Structure formats: structure tokens, C-alpha cells
Amino acid sequence: MKSTRSKLNRIPSRGHYDPETIHAILDNNYMCHVAFVIDGKPYCIPTAYGRKGNFIYLHGSAKSQMLQTLVDGGEACITVMQVDAIVLARSLFHSSMNYHSVVLFGTGEEMTDPAEKMEGLRVVSESMWNGRWDEARHPTENEMRATKVLRFPISEGSAKIRTGGAKDEKEDYALDIWAGIIPVITTYGEPVADELLKPGIEVPASVSGK
């Protein structure tokens, strides 16, 4: 995983290169940002992803400029970040965040085999909401033709993790200024049924947990 561009230079003690740590962070999230270059101009697009084995799967419109660029061999930088807490130090300079993040580099491969393409879509779907794939209608042939699925090897990159409290200058600990952390917790609210839902349809197991 470690390379010249993936090696952490800023606070390298926070860096991790083992697949287990990187996979765990990827599995705990489902949104990434994909950076790429077209005609010398940079772009960065947020999109959903899923992980299976040592690959990340992306999907989108067959007409997607981003996906077509990557299919043609353009390199991508894929980033994922979850914020765990806001760290308020006594000084603004040392205020920070606790986080788990991953940065990956590589080129993608388009899934053209129908079974592999469908599996890629399943991986992304299950990453967003586990269990939904078995409850909803699967893509039709027309929908499959209108969709591109790419996979990227998790072979070059790093994870970066910050934990703990504020790290102030020694002299600042005497200041009468509050310092500490504010945990950031992501939760799901109560399900809201679609307004056109047919009467009598109950909340599915993947949502209710029953």
C-alpha cells in the first residue's frame, strides 16, 4: 500500500498501511470523493461506493464523464473520511478533529461481464443499506445498459487516524479557556414512507431490523 505518493509526511505516526485498517474504514462508510483530471483540469465528484475483497466498486450513468475518463485509463484519487469528534483546544491553532480517513490511488476497470456488473451493483447497494438488494427490484436490461460499473484495486494508499484530546502548547494549559472534544455521532431517524406507497405494505426487515 505504501508508495512515494501514499506515504504520510505530515504526522506519519497517524498513518496506517495495513489492509485490515483500510478495509475497516471503507466498510464503515459508503460515500467517497473521486478526483481525476480531464484536459489538464481537476475535478472531484462525490459518489457512493462499495467494497468487496480488495476492490472498491463505483457506478453511475453510462454517459458519466467521470466514469468514461476512468475507463479510458485516467488515474483517480479516491478519498473517504468520517469525522468522529471536533477537538477544541485552548488555542485556535491546535483545534482539530478526530477522524478516520483513507486515500487511495489507482486506475479503474470497467465491469462488462453481466454477472460481474450485477455483482458490482449489489456491492454498492449493500454498502448503502445492508439487506436492501434482496428486497427491491433488480435492474432491467435497459437499466444495465444505461449504467457503468467500475472497480478499483485497493493496492496503493493509506489510512490516517486521529484520536484523543487537545494537544496545546505547554504554556497554554494555564489559560482560563475551556478545551475538550465534542463527539460527532451519525444516527438514522424514523423511516418515512413514500407518499405513493400502496396501503398495507410494512416497513421491510432491512429497515425495521425485525
Cα distance between residue 116 and residue 34, in whole Å: 22
CATH of the domain at 160: 2.30.110.10
Mean of the per-residue pLDDT values of the chain: 96
pLDDT score, position 180: 98
- Structural domain boundaries enclosing 130: 12-83+98-164
Q: What is the pLDDT of residues 85-108, one digit of tens each?
A: 999 999 999 999 999 999 999 999
- The reply to whether 60 falls in a domain is yes
Instruction: Count up the domains in the chain and report the number.
Output: 1
- The reply to whether 199 falls in a domain is no
210 has a pLDDT exceeding 80? no
DSSP state of 202: P
Sign of the C-alpha dihedral computed for residues 43, 86, 161 and 127 taken in this order:
negative
% of the chain at pLDDT higher than 90: 96
161 has a pLDDT exceeding 80? yes
Residues in CB range of 81: below 8 A, 6 or more apart: 29, 99, 100, 101, 102
- The reply to whether 190 falls in a domain is no
- The reply to whether 57 falls in a domain is yes
- The reply to whether 206 falls in a domain is no
User: In residues, how long is the chain?
Assistant: 210
- The reply to whether 71 falls in a domain is yes
pLDDT score, position 209: 86
Cell of 104: 487511495
Cα distance between residue 179 and residue 86, in whole Å: 11
Q: At CA 56, angle to CA 55 and CA 61, rounded to 5?
A: 130
Burial class (CB in 10 A: 0-12, 13-18, 19+), 127: buried
State mean pLDDT over 4-23. 93
pLDDT score, position 191: 95
In the chain, how many H helices and how many E strands? 5, 11
Residue 95, helix vs strand vs coil: coil
Residue 134, helix vs strand vs coil: helix
- The reply to whether 68 falls in a domain is yes
Residue 1: which pLDDT band, with cuts at 50, 70 and 90? confident
Residue 175: which pLDDT band, with cuts at 50, 70 and 90? very high
Q: What is the pLDDT of residues 33-59, one digit of tens each?
A: 999 999 999 999 999 999 999 999 999
